[in-house]
Amino acid sequence: MTGFRHGAVFAALLLSACGERALEPDAAIVCDPCDSWNQPQDPFRVHGNTWYVGTDGLSSVLIESDDGLILVDGGLPQSAALIDANIRALGFDPRDIKAILVSHVHYDHVGGISALQRLSGANVFTSIAGSGPLAVGVLADDDPQYIAGSDEGHFPPVREVVAVEDGGVVSVGSLDVKAVYTPGHTPGSITWTWQSCALGQCYDVVYADSLSAVSAEGFRFTDSGVADKLIASAGIIADLDCDILLVPHPFFFGMDAKLERRDQGNPFINNLGCVLYAESSLDWVERRLEAERSH
């Protein structure tokens, strides 16, 4: 009897030691806008199965299916704890995340993914061009923001990266999320699309990847051909079925202003959102090209 009791106590201590998997954040990345990007944001429902769980300056989106969760983007390494807390605040369990989707492989959108993957055990999905850099934790040298030896070109590497082809689908339960290649901001940029339904009303959600003409010093959009890719990708996004637009930086879909209007209906529903986003991005590219022509 004594031996059984000791064995039972040992087993209880072992279970307690193992316990529930907890988030183990990676070391923070330091950058000029990092603190402002990483300010907390209360989570909220966008529509139906789609929830915003990111920070004030970096989007992370949770999609609920009938067989688990999908997370899109993971912010900075120091964003992972905020994303984890936001998911739990909504009543979900981050360990139920079955798939993590990546828009583009920059430190401010993939920095928290390694920790969130360790917590959930989820596979991570990105484009063919993005899978290599994500797995090693270093930007490819054909990325417009690549600077050899730069701290901002590094991020925690991610295991179990699955490369998705253009038009490929990631499915969890009955939920299908489609990958649409929109290169330019990075060589492997992906826009993700899915359907969100509530009360018999379904809308097409587009998580449109960044189209901003931002680069390391000395990079030329004209000579590299990246401007042409951005222009083509803007056209692809503008042509998508798009009722709800989300973007990796919430500023670009007017999150704060829309949240202030929530008592007037759902301000995130706007079937011109993708067109307006594409047009504003084309204006940015044209300004960049004009600046390059003048130097």
Query: Over 80: is that where the pLDDT of 3 sits?
Result: no
Predicted confidence at residue 5, as pLDDT, reads 32
In a domain, 20, yes or no: no
Band the pLDDT of 259: cuts 50, 70, 90: very high
Query: How many domains would you assign to the chain?
Result: 1
- Pairing of β 123-127 and β 97-101: parallel
pLDDT tens, position by position, 146-157: 998 887 899 999
In a domain, 81, yes or no: yes
pLDDT digits 0-9 by tens, 121-137? 999 999 999 999 999 99
How far lies 80's CA from each of 112, 136, 225, 248, 254, in Å?
5, 19, 35, 15, 23
Confidence of residue 54 (pLDDT cuts 50, 70, 90): very high
Q: Indicate the SS3 state at residue 268.
A: coil
Q: Assess whether pLDDT exceeds 70 at residue 186.
A: yes
pLDDT in tens, 32-50: 999 999 999 999 999 999 9
Average pLDDT over residues 81-110: 98
Domain, as residue range, for 277: 25-293
Task: Note whether residue 3 is domain-resident.
Answer: no
- Domain membership of residue 2 (yes or no) is no
Q: Read off the pLDDT of each residue in 224-236 and give the average, rounded to a whole number.
A: 97
Q: Indicate if the pLDDT at residue 10 is higher than 70.
A: no
For tokens 């939920």, name the residue. Answer: 175
CATH number, domain at 138? 3.60.15.10
Q: Does 154 fall in a domain?
A: yes
Rounded to an integer, what distance in angstroms lies between the CA atom of residue 2 and that of residue 152?
A: 58
Looking at residues 21-40, what average pLDDT do you find? 95
Residue 110 lies in a domain: yes
Residue 4 lies in a domain: no
User: Between the CA of residue 246 and those of 2, 35, 67, 180, what are the distances in Å?
Assistant: 61, 22, 23, 14
Task: Tell me which residue of 116, 110, 74, 114 sits closest to 95, measured CA to CA.
Answer: 116
Average pLDDT of the residues of the chain: 93
Q: Is the dihedral of CA 189, 129, 57, 226 positive or negative?
A: negative
In a domain, 225, yes or no: yes
CB 65 within 8 A of CB 172: yes
DSSP letter, residue 36 = H
Percent of the chain past pLDDT 70, that is, above it, reads 93
Of 269, 282, 195, 294, give the one whose Cα is nearest residue 238.
282
